[in-house]
Amino acid sequence: MTATSVTILAADVPTLADFGHDPWWLILLKALAVFVFLVANPLAAILIERKVMARMQTRLGPNRVGPRGLLQSVADGVKLALKEGIVPSGVDKLIYIAAPIIAVVPAIMAFAVIPFGPMVSVFGHHTPLQLTDLPVGVLYVLAITSVGVYGIVLAGWSSGSTYPLLGGLRSTAQVISYEIAMGLTFAAVFLDAGTMSTSGIVAAQEHHWYVLLLLPSFVIYAISMVGETNRAPFDLPEAEGELVGGFHTEYSSLKFAMFMLAEYINMVTVSALATTLFLGGWQAPWPISVIDGANDGWWPILWFTIKVWIFLFVFIWLRTSLPRLRYDQFMNLGWKVLIPISLTWVMVVALIRMAVGPSDDDELVRSLVSAGAGLVVTALLGYAIWRLMRLPRTRADDDRGVSESTSPPPAFDPMAGGFPVPPLPGQVAPTGTPTASGPAKETTDA
């Protein structure tokens, strides 16, 4: 074998012992390949998103720049780079500039432990198609992506403006709410796989993907990853309807482009993690998996990329189809539905794991019991979400009902907070009190 040859070996699933032996140039080559993958996917995703949304909404979409609009993403990037970078006078300049960097860097670092394929030979070196792995690889991804939200929070706080601040606070609440449910879905996978390393979890799905055995975890993770990436219908931190542009209202030029890049890289990261945890990672789907060589060499990169793009299409589909949730619906979904059901499901998985033995026959029984219990819990989850979304009354309805009842309206003091405020539905301002429009007008009986 010459030093310039690349030999495709038979499928060889890597373990933790296979990492840490690569020469420095191979590590740099892998890191560069991961970086190119993460930059190329957002460029394609932005164009495909605009094309798919246009088709779903009976529009043309981008079709002017390049053949059939294929260079539109490149043109948008050049346009943002050449725009003037405006820094408002009231910002905390250091944090204002650092915030988009903090948002982008963790999104890229999280991909370090994502497996792309099995062991291969590159220029004579036997190496896994993965940059590195850790005994707690999935927890590393969760921790790094959690750091990324500080970019959004600091961007909102440092802008010195009301709407970005509200967007940053909303992002904080989203992360706290949905990372708990996401972490509990990880716990179910850890219990079944017996490991926290990403390569070990892929190896544990050799016979059955966890989307079949741990269906509730997959559904809850799929919902949580949309909330974690601030995508519609959970795009409340940048809700243009009430927050102008949310946390990045005061950003322009390349700093704004970095926030967009971070959003799409995060989409790729959570999609890759979903593929790794629930769809067998780089393993070929059935019936392709029965073909000799389907999981050998470089072919697994193709299966992995296709699975990731299935999730990216779902992101686009949701943005095109669903309206934005109200904030109370969003928080109720996380705290009253996803977290309790995911915690219950972890307990069910643990009980099944303890009750069934480790033999091959018991393994089949455990798989069947887990799949059956998963269907039941998933049905419960769907019913809970349906009930939550169909709540007939809101707070405004409750207040209106009070005013329409025979009981007297509640007492209302418009100056209780030190400045005049308008009455809520069902409240009546007493005569002679000041209002927001000026001094009160005295009324007399006819």
Q: To 5 degrees, how large is the angle CA 26–CA 39–CA 165?
A: 125
Which positions ≥6 away from 68 have C-beta within 8 Å? Answer: none
Asked if residue 340 is part of any domain, the answer here is no
Nearest to 129 by CA among 282, 303, 310, 308: 282
pLDDT value at 337 more than 80: yes
Which H or E element spans position 7? strand 6-7
Asked if residue 289 is part of any domain, the answer here is no
pLDDT recorded at residue 221: 94
Asked if residue 446 is part of any domain, the answer here is no
What are the tens digits of pLDDT across the range 313-322?
999 999 888 8
How large is the average pLDDT for residues 305-324? 92
Asked if residue 190 is part of any domain, the answer here is yes
What are the tens digits of pLDDT across the range 187-234?
999 998 889 999 999 999 988 899 999 999 999 999 999 988 888 888
Asked if residue 356 is part of any domain, the answer here is no
Domains held by the chain: number: 1
- Which residue has better confidence, 86 or 309? 309
Average pLDDT, the chain: 83
Where residue 147 falls among pLDDT bands split at 50, 70, 90?
confident
Domain holding 220, by residue range, is 18-284+301-325
What are the tens digits of pLDDT across the range 400-426?
544 454 566 566 677 676 666 767 666
* Number of other residues whose CB lies within 10 A of the CB of residue 145: 23
pLDDT recorded at residue 391: 67
Nearest to 260 by CA among 35, 110, 39: 39
pLDDT recorded at residue 86: 85
Name the most confidently modeled range: 2-6, 316-320, 393-397: 316-320
With residues binned 3-state (H G I as helix, E B as strand, rest as coil), the percentages for the chain, rounded to 5, are 65, 5, 35
Asked if residue 107 is part of any domain, the answer here is yes
pLDDT value at 444 more than 50: no
What are the tens digits of pLDDT across the range 80-114?
888 888 888 888 889 999 999 998 999 899 999 99
Asked if residue 426 is part of any domain, the answer here is no
Nearest to 16 by CA among 141, 132, 138, 186: 132
Assigned token pair, 384: 């809970």
Asked if residue 392 is part of any domain, the answer here is no
CA–CA separation, 237 vs 99, rounded Å? Answer: 15
CA–CA separation, 332 vs 395, rounded Å? Answer: 14
